[in-house]
Amino acid sequence: NGILAEFSTGTISGNIIVNGDGTGVAASGFAGTIEGNEISGCYRGIEGWMHGACPDASIVWNYVHQCGHGIEIITCAALEGNIVESCTNTGISVLGSQGCDVDGNVVRWNEVGIYLDSGLGVGIHGNDIYGSELYNLECYPWTRETPGAPMRGTFDLDATMNWWGTNDPHEIARGIMDCNDDPAIDCCVVFDPWCVAPGCDPTTTEPTSWGTVKAIFR
């Protein structure tokens, strides 16, 4: 690992971390800020296990590129203003959720833009999410991990007011993997309304009614 922070607070900022075999910044039980770092060529750019640190942990204004996984967090943290691009697996992964906010990030040219294994309590707003090889946003099939497990019941994931690389609702829908694609997924992504251009301005959105009925585009 480049930097390891365990059960601590403070700020990790202004570092350049290149070509690490493991993780650029690994934070476990960290209740501080990871800010303004450039991380490239690592298996994971930033990995955060934020148990017990909410809501104080924040990952902001970092540039993470050409990693395997860009930013990966367990449970919760505030992710804001990061640029995560050209990662061979996921751009931003939220593994578990307790009120996680993913706001104002640029997530582009990754295999999967944003990956969620739960989606409960996650809000995704004001981001530019586009150019992904597979999906711009992918929800994990909850019942696949435990075959035969009952569904928790479908819920709407609020991913409104983002820029998805297009103004075409058909194309936006095709870039999202959710309950409309796999009955084992209980996360149903609501993307309407969406921003009309990059540099997403949540006050300028496309007024439509497609988001909650996007299955018709499949």
Tell me: cis bond preceding 150? Omega within 30 of 0 counts.
no
pLDDT at 54 over 60: no
Quickly list H helices, 61-215: 142-145, 169-174
pLDDT (tens digit per residue) in 56-89: 678 999 999 999 999 998 867 889 999 999 999 9
pLDDT band per the 50, 70, 90 thresholds, residue 116: very high
Q: Give the pLDDT score at 51.
A: 55
Higher pLDDT, 23 or 95: 23
One-letter amino acid for residue 109 of the chain: W
Over residues 8-17, mean pLDDT: 93
Q: Give the pLDDT score at 82.
A: 97
Over residues 186-212, mean pLDDT: 77
8 Å CB contact between 66 and 45: no
